[in-house]
Amino acid sequence: MSHLEIQSVSKSFGSTVAVDTASLTLQQGEIVCLLGPSGCGKTTLLRLVAGLEAADGGSISLAGRNLVDVPTYQRGIGMMFQSYALFPHMTVAENIGYGLRMAHEPQELIGQRIGEMLDLVDLNGLGDRQIDQLSGGQQQRVALARSLATRPDILLLDEPLGSLDRLLRERLLDQLKVILKKVGVTALYVTHDQSEAFGIGDRVAVMNRGSIEQIAPPHEIFTRPKSRFVANFLGLSNVFDVSHPHSTIIQQLEPWLNDQGRNEGAVLIPPYAASLTQREGLLLLKTIVQGYSFRGRFALLSCQVGEHELAFSLDPYLEEGLIGRDFKPGDELELWLNPQHFVLLSH
Amino acid sequence: MKKNYTRFFPLIPLIFFGLFYFYPLGSILKLSFAPEGKLQLDAASKLITDSYYLRTLWFTFWQAVVSTILTLLLALPAAYVFATYDFRYKQTLRTISTLPFVLPTVVVANAFSALIGPRGLVNTTAQQLFNLEEPPIDIDQTIWLILLAHVFYNYSVVLRIVSAYWQRINAELTQAAETLGASPQQRFWTITLPLLRPALMAAGVLVFIFTFTSFGVVLLLGGPGFATLEVEIYRQAVNIFDLPVAAALSLFQILFTFILMAVYTRTQARIATQSSSTHMVAKPVTTWWDKVIVWGNLGVMFTLLAAPLLALVLRSISWVDSNPFLYYAKLFDNERGSVFYVPPIEAVGNSLLYAGCAIVIALIIGLICAYLVVDKNNWLDPIFMLPLATSAVTLGFGYIIALDEPPLNLRNSFILIPLAHALVAIPFVIRTVLPALRGINPAVREAASTLGADPTRIWLTIDWPLLRRVLLVAAVFAFTISMGEFGATIFVARPDSPTMPTAIFRFLGRPGQVNFGQALAMSTLLMFVCSAGFVLIERLRLGDKSVDGSIDQGEF
């Protein structure tokens, strides 16, 4: 049986539907990321699990216990807030021990557990510090320690790195994953940042308009997006309707499409599918260059096929002679596409 | 060339404060320690050795403590309701609840007399209904009436400061506690209450200052049995004529309020720096428990705040006479043997005239002061705030002992009252104008300058349009303060030209239903005038959501 089971949960605020019959299951010890644009309902779904919002319908069960009608403080969860929500009138140690005090644990056990937690998040010796004496990264770790101290059945994280700058975020993400895996806690992690989701999630659930559009491991989400929305959200923009037989690009892809037996839906050509050199099994695409720039790890090429615009990233270190070469807008260019990377989208 | 004038502007407020603040206070100092020119500590030592004064001091202290605790306890649930719930007319109700605060003490004292005094609405109604000989509620001239009036006055202070702060507490903090297993009770005691402490402290200190320096309420409602320091200063100076003792008491009062004011300024600063990302979202009233707590609190607010004022209006109307407005009509009569030498209604004219002069003085001096302290942490700023920390009774007392003899004899001058009122109003003018003044981008003035505007033109085209509105607010502030000012006026007003509050006070000193009725009628008029001013201020301030409680008016 699954550890967390969310079944057809819905939540509206007035006339706005925030979560629309969303279903999701998490296995014990698994980290799942809820990924989506702002307003997609990911935070609301998290708060429904926490019980900070009451669901309009559906059911949520945790470790075999139905959570409907269980108030937040009896759910046995841990939660990390974007603002960390550290209690400003308590020390680091008092913050970490708060949940244990609420549960009336014996004093010596609380002290011992605080020590373990400080050790876990590498904040030894800072227990007596006031919250405002800590750096942003330290505060983030206190919040983590506090939410883990009670050994929750599930850890809920609401954009826990959202208020940090990019560089710090990359570093803390790795630390966070190491700690979560060490503890073995089941976690639901909300973010709008794709690299953060891919970096920490065992599986990633992409949300759109209150529903879960696709849930899969990161590599599968990226290489096999299920819908146009998922593809677009991940920045894969070369998507074309198959049902337009007169479009120049569909005409060029026609032999391959016929092989697939598809005449409806859409086809995604990932930006990494193009090459300048002909090889066995590649498809020819005649394009007109619109812009080209060398970006370090890759080179960005935008080009036109009929009325469509496509963007490709070429690998300057695999493509022979690409480094130092320039393309002028208006030049005709033959590209070779690897159809193995193509994805057929239902819609 | 214009600059030559403006160079002397700073001197105007400095001279004003020197003559009308420091000089009278210095006279008090001199009178208490050296009444005949050489050091004498008789009066001062009397205060510490005579058990009578110690009892006064003790009473002043403990009634302030009890009033403060009562107010906090009663207003805290309402602060919770206003911070957490969203209900219809919430803003309006919050605004109306502040009204008592701007009402003159004489009005409030009369409102309570009209409600539960021996001739009050509750007692007379009960006597008629049950054929009672004696009024059933007999708390006239008891501590209970004083405490009740103090709660009435300061309820909105606590409500405003605490509910505004409560709203700004990061909602995620209590949610975090919730996810960590804290029950609603645990959340209140471990998170909400400790986080509210700065606001509770600030509100508590403020209420303590107000009740410690309470004058009108105690003088009018307490009777001869009760005296705060303020009342004792008045009695010593006016009734017993022991000026050195009055001066020594004033001195103590000054010291004490300064200390309290310093404490308040510090707690206030802590409130202002609080900020949070996630504000609490007010929730609608849905469950029966929500309804009980919201309606229960609104009921308490109505009984406590609205009932006395309604009773005042009702009792000012004569129900037995053929003319229901008898008491109002009497105000126009110049009766032989009456309290006054002139028709009482002239007090209205006097008050308006004094208020007009006070507005002009307070605006001119206050505006210059504001320009002087526009840079933050200017050393003059706390000095200009001093009148706020000085009791009005002390100020009035200082005026009669300092300004009635050469070199500056203004005893019979009409200007003495507006001067006192302006001095009380100046801190409010400064506090109202400063945010607008600080909000003017200096680059705008520089831009005007590069476009060829001279300093006068810059002021007229840049500053004036931006300040117009706040100056109007400041003017209304000065107006309401002047109309209701009692503590200083009672010292300096001449018998033949009373203001509305002093006229009311004199009516009360006379026996008979007609005099009482006229006091209520005059109080009702004053209440409406002050309410109108208050509504105007709130209207003008609309959209300017500056820190709640910072504009709260003091009735010193």
Inter-chain CB proximity B277 and A73 less than 8 Å: no
Q: What is the mean pLDDT of chain A?
A: 91
Does any CB of chain A come closer than 8 Å to the CB of residue B176?
Answer: yes
Do B175 and A146 count as a contact with CB atoms less than 8 A apart? Answer: no
**Cβ of B191 and A87 within 8 Å?**
yes
Q: Which residue did the predictor score with more confidence, A112 or A261?
A: A112
Check residue A155 and give its pLDDT: 96
Q: Is residue B300 part of a domain?
A: yes
Min CA distance, B176 vs chain A (Å)? 6
* Coil/strand/helix, residue B277: coil
Q: Assign residue B127 the CATH number of its domain.
A: 1.10.3720.10
Same domain, B303 and B385: no
Chain centroid offset of residue B395 CA: 15
Q: Do B2 and B86 reside in the same domain of the chain? A: no
Q: Which fold has domain A239-345?
A: OB fold (Dihydrolipoamide Acetyltransferase, E2P) (2.40.50)
Task: For residue B513, name the pLDDT band (cuts at 50, 70, 90).
Answer: confident
Q: Do A150 and B180 touch (CB under 8 A)?
A: yes
Query: Out of A73, A79, A147, whose CB is closest to B182?
Result: A73
Q: Which residue of B has its CA nearest to A155?
A: B179
- Does residue B432 fall inside a structural domain? yes
Average predicted confidence (pLDDT) for chain B: 83
Cβ-Cβ contacts under 8 Å, B165 against chain A:
none
> Which ranges in B103-134 belong to alpha helices (H)?
105-116, 121-130
Nearest-by-CA chain A residue for B172: A85
**CB-based contact (8 Å) between B348 and chain A?**
no
Q: Do B175 and A85 touch (CB under 8 A)?
A: yes
Compare CB distances from B179 to A50, A83, A88 and report the shortest one's residue. A50
pLDDT for B129 equals 85
Residue A326 above 80 pLDDT? Answer: yes
Same-domain status, B418 and B304: no
Q: Does A81 touch chain B (CB under 8 A)?
A: yes
Nearest-Cα distance to chain B for A71, in Å, is 9
Q: How many CB pairs under 8 A join A and B?
A: 74
Phi and psi of B338, rounded to 5°?
-80, 180
A chain contacts of residue B187, beta-carbon cutoff 8 Å: 73
CB contact residues (below 8 A), chain A span 47-66, against chain B: 50-52
Best of A52, A89, A159 to disrupt the B interface by mutation (most B CBs within 10 Å)?
A89
Would residue B240 count as lying in a domain? no
- In B, which residues are within 8 Å of A82 by CB distance? 172
Asked if B175 lies within 8 A of A156 by C-beta distance, the reply is: no
Determine, for residues B176 and A150 on separate chains, whether the beta-carbon distance falls below 8 Å: no
Residue B318 has pLDDT above 50, yes or no: yes
* Angle (nearest 5°) at CA B436 between B432 and B440: 160
Task: Indicate whether B286 and B370 sit together in one domain.
Answer: no
Q: Which of B294, B313, B332 is the last residue of a domain?
A: B313
Is the residue at B259 inside a domain? Answer: no
Answer whether residue B17 is part of any domain: yes
pLDDT of res. A156: 95
CA distance B318 to B326: 6
Helices (H), chain A: 42-50, 92-102, 107-120, 136-148, 166-183, 194-200, 218-223, 228-233, 248-260
* Segment of A184-198, B460-474, B493-507 carrying the highest mean pLDDT: A184-198
State whether B204 and B350 are in the same domain.
no
Give the pLDDT mean for A226-255: 86
Query: How far apart (Å, rounded) are the C-alpha atoms in residues B302 and A312?
Result: 71
Q: Which of B313, B343, B372 is the last residue of a domain?
A: B313
Strands A187-191 and A203-208: unpaired
pTM: 0.80
B278 touching A (Cβ < 8 Å)? yes
| Overall average pLDDT of the A128-152 stretch | 92
pLDDT at A177: 93
With 90 as the cut, is the pLDDT of residue A203 above it? yes
Domain ranges of chain A: 4-233, 239-345
Domain's final residue, options B287, B313, B339:
B313
Provide, as residue numbers in chain B, all residues whose Cβ is less than 8 Å from the Cβ of A76. 181
Give the per-residue pLDDT at B543.
47
Report d(CA A269, CA A272) in Å as an integer. 8
Total domains in chain B come to 2
Tokens of A119: 């050790």
Position B343 scores a pLDDT of 76
Residue B250's pLDDT is 84
d(CA A26, CA A186): 8
Q: Per residue in A190-199, pLDDT tens?
A: 999 999 999 9
pLDDT at B248 > cutoff 90: no
* B374 and B510 inside one domain: yes
Q: For B180-214, give one letter per residue: b (16+ CB within 10 A) or e.
A: bbbeeebbbebbbeebbebbbbbbbbbbbbbbbbb
| pLDDT score at B1 | 43
Which phi and psi (to 5°) does residue A113 adopt? -65, -40
Has residue B430 been placed in a domain?
yes
Same domain for B468 and B543, yes or no, is yes
Residue B220 inside a domain? The answer is no
Same-domain status, B4 and B114: no
Average of per-residue pLDDT across B142-155: 90
Domain with B136, as residue range(s), is 51-210+273-313
Res B408 pLDDT > 80:
no
Query: In CATH, what is the architecture of A4-233?
Result: 3-Layer(aba) Sandwich (3.40)
Per 3-state DSSP, chain A is made up of helix, strand and coil in percentages (nearest 5) of 30, 30, 40
Q: CB–CB of B173 and A102 under 8 A?
A: no
B186/A contact by beta carbon, under 8 A: yes
Q: DSSP letters along A88-117, please?
A: TTSBHHHHHHHHHHHTT--HHHHHHHHHHH
Report chain B residues whose CB lies below 8 A from the CB of A147: 179-180
Contact residues on chain A for B175, CB-CB shorter than 8 A: 50, 52, 72, 79, 81, 85
Position B2 pLDDT exceeds 80? no
**A156 → chain B, closest CA residue:** B179
Distance of residue A149 Cα from the nearest chain B Cα, in angstroms: 9
Residue of higher predicted confidence among B223 and B555: B223
Cα–Cα distance for residue pair A231/A229, rounded to 1 Å: 5
Res B339: pLDDT: 56
> Does this complex have an ipTM over 0.85?
no
Name every chain B residue with its beta carbon within 8 A of the beta carbon of A156: 179
B278-309 pLDDT, tens per residue?
566 778 888 888 899 899 999 988 888 889 88
Residues B63 and B163 in one domain: yes
Q: Which residues of B369-378 are buried (b: 16+ CB within 10 A; e: fewer)?
A: bbbbbeeeee
Chain B residue numbers with beta carbons less than 8 Å from the beta carbon of A14 are none
> Cβ(B272)–Cβ(B376) under 8 Å?
no
**How far, in whole angstroms, is CA B181 from its chain's centroid?**
45
- Return the H-helix or E-strand segment holding A239: strand A239-241
* Highest mean pLDDT of the ranges A46-60, B87-101, B210-224: A46-60
Answer yes or no: do A77 and B170 touch at CB < 8 A: no
A83–chain B Cβ distance below 8 A for any pair: yes
Average pLDDT over residues A28-41: 94
Q: Per-residue pLDDT for B171 more than 90? A: no
> Hey, is the C-beta of B339 within 8 angstroms of any chain A C-beta?
no
Q: How confident is the model at residue B185 (pLDDT cuts 50, 70, 90)?
A: very high
Q: First vs last Cα of chain A: how many Å apart?
A: 32
Could you tell me if B279 and B426 lie in one domain? no
Same domain as B356, residue B294: no
Shared-domain flag, residues B328 and B453? yes
- Is the residue at B235 inside a domain? no
Place of tokens 């070469």: A325
B183, B276, B278 ranked by CB distance to A73: nearest: B183
Q: Quick one: pLDDT at residue B547?
A: 36
